[in-house]
A and B are shown apart, each in its own frame.
Chain A
Amino acid sequence: MAESGVIEPAPPASHLTTGRRLQRASTPYLLSLPSWVYLIVFFVVPLLSVLALAVATGNPEIGYSYTGHVSQFWTAVDTYHVQLVRSFWYGIASTVIALAIAYPVAYWIAFYGGRHKSTYLFLVLLPFFVSFIIRTLAWEFILSDQGLVLGHLKDWGLLSQNFHVLSTSWAVIWGLTYNSLPFYVLPLYVAIERIDRRVVRAANDLYADTPRAFMRVIFPLSAPGVFAGFLLVFVTNVGDYVNQQVLGGTGTYMIGSVIQDSFFTNQDYPMASALSAVLMLILVVAIFLYARTFGADSIQEYSA
């Protein structure tokens, strides 16, 4: 986790007064203090209190009592397991498709981009300059039943009149994939760019054909990028509800929408908290399993 070359050897401190030494030792704490306080108050404590609220009963009018009923978790999973499973299915599908699209793109930019690399990366990042909600809305109009694409295809008789894309699972996965593509290209590009081209050349000289050199050399070396992208894209997509609300229909309800509804429509805060906690626990387990299966090195390299 320590960056190479930044750790300074302990300076000979004998000539310093106790005051100076104390000052030097306290510097990193003083520097970190503002962010620490902020993140602990507005990130860590709320996150932990989700767990507390999940085992409480009550409602906004009469207040809450912390009964410690763990059964709330089972009720949450039992009631909404369909949406939970669906969220993970959409999350996995969109992440895998995004990886399949992003990898060749990042690979080509990193290995064959030449001096236009930054221009190509800029093109990949173009969607970031348009609001997320507007991008998703634009797809809603483009994919709508009588819209530019489907409308014309139907007029030409290429599609049956009742064919539709919107409010299907694939529309939601389409939106999730589109919105996550830049988030996957960036970490992949960083990882592939770092690969020493001579290692690939060496594999070829050792009679590895192109597919084998790719599978045994290039892909393993880009694993940190695959993991970083997986983390960003998968977690975001499982919890997303905007793509589902705009592009999907009643049959594509995801867990994010359920949490939203529990808070604002049903005002069932313990249920919303329990669902948040369950979602987070499953994600932590998924990330842990990924790290166990594909090696923990990639995690460490990412966080370094």
Chain B
Amino acid sequence: MTDTLSQLPAVDASRPVTVRRRRRKASSYLLPAFFWLVMIWTVIPIVFMIIFSFNQAPQGRIAFNWFGATDTWYRNVFAIGGLTQALEHSLAIAFLTAVISMCLGTPMALAMARYRFYGKTATDVMIFADIAAPSVVVGASLLGFFLTLNIPRGLTTILIAHVAFAVVFVVVVVRARLSGLDRSLDRAAADLGATPWVAFWKVIFPLIVPGIIAGGLLAFAMSIDDLIITSFVAGQAVTFPIWVYGAVKTGIPPQVFVMGTLIFVGGIVIALVNTLANSRRQA
């Protein structure tokens, strides 16, 4: 990046040099050192989870001391029926949440990014409130709502609740992607005789697909990780976080850490593949 201001002659030849040198020093030692310290702090629980998923813990419960390495828990990862079923529930709900949120959120993102209309500000406030509202309040209000209408709580109500908080994130992400697009693309398509419908599917949609996928992945991640809202609307249904939270008092089987490790590795692989695909598309 060429910097025009830096090419101007310095007003005072002696002073800025010392200032700049001191700043460079601080930025080249202190800040990176701090960054890497924070990163160590960040990965401590992750490393703990991965290492202790191999721990030969007695009684099939996670212990905080090392008893030797074993791959028992990996070979018996699905041995606990309730936990496996909870994980299946979580994956299914997260997948459906992502799909429904993408279908509902993308058109709204289109309307918010491309049109001026009555009620747009109110919609903005609603999106903002949905993002900012604390989970306990959202969960409690949904439970009150379901109780009032006598709707039985279960997997369906979990899905309904998850879409209610995930859809706005799809709107925000897709809208940001749309805002970055050049409007003249629409005009060019129209000049070439495309109807708005055709122009959308042939020109705009392919360009915002990465945004839709990113929004969907965000919705998936938030759904599979949600505990607080789910705990209110779950009834007797059990998801992975609910199961683990429920097991805190009785003791956590190492399979929980195994599943966590597998999800961690899988998530990183997906993220890396997505990044590589994106950079290749842009290249």
Partner of B136, one of A127, A148, A209, A259: A259
- Stretch touching chain A among B67-75, B77-85, B121-129, B207-215: B121-129
Known: A29-B117, A32-B111. A130 touches B137 (CB 8 A): no
Give the CA-CA distance A130 to B266 in the complex, in Å: 11
Q: Let me know if B136 and A287 touch, CB within 8 A.
A: no
B191 lies within 8 A of chain A by Cβ: no
Report the interface size class on chain B. Answer: 35 or more
Q: Is the CB of B31 within 8 A of A108?
A: yes
Q: Which residues of A contact B26 (CB under 8 A)?
A: 210
Query: Known: A47-B133, A134-B49, A246-B248. Is A42-B108 also a contact (CB below 8 A)?
Result: no
Q: Looking across the interface, which residue of chain A has its beta carbon closest to that of B181?
A: A6
Which of B5, B20, B241 sits near A132, CB closer than 8 Å?
B241
State in angstroms the CA–CA spacing of A32 and B131 once bound together. Answer: 18
B144 and A133: CB pair below 8 A? no
Q: Is the CB of A6 within 8 A of B225?
A: no
Chain B residues, Cβ within 8 Å of A248:
none
Alpha-carbon separation in the docked complex, A1 to B125 (Å):
11
**Majority secondary structure of chain B interface residues (helix, strand, loop or mixed):** helix
Tell whether A101 pairs with B117 under 8 Å between CB atoms, given A43-B138, A205-B11.
no
Does B161 sit within 8 A of A, measured CB to CB?
yes
Residues of B within 8 A of A140 (CB): 248
Within B1-22, which residues are at the interface with A (CB < 8 Å)? Answer: 1, 3-6, 8, 10-12, 15-16, 19-20, 22
Which segment, of A69-77, A157-165, A276-284, faces chain B?
A: A276-284
Tell me if A295 counts as interface (CB < 8 A to partner B): no
Residue numbers in B under 8 Å from A8 (CB-CB) = 183
CB-CB contacts below 8 Å: A137-165 with B: 137-142, 144, 146-148, 151
Residues of B within 8 A of A (CB): 1, 3-6, 8, 10-12, 15-16, 19-20, 22-23, 26-28, 31-32, 34-35, 38-39, 41-46, 48-49, 52, 62, 64-65, 103-105, 107-108, 110-117, 119-121, 123-124, 126, 128-138, 140-145, 147-148, 160-161, 163-165, 167-168, 171, 178-179, 183, 196, 221, 224-225, 227-228, 231-232, 240-241, 244-245, 248, 252, 256-257, 260, 263-264, 267-268, 271, 275
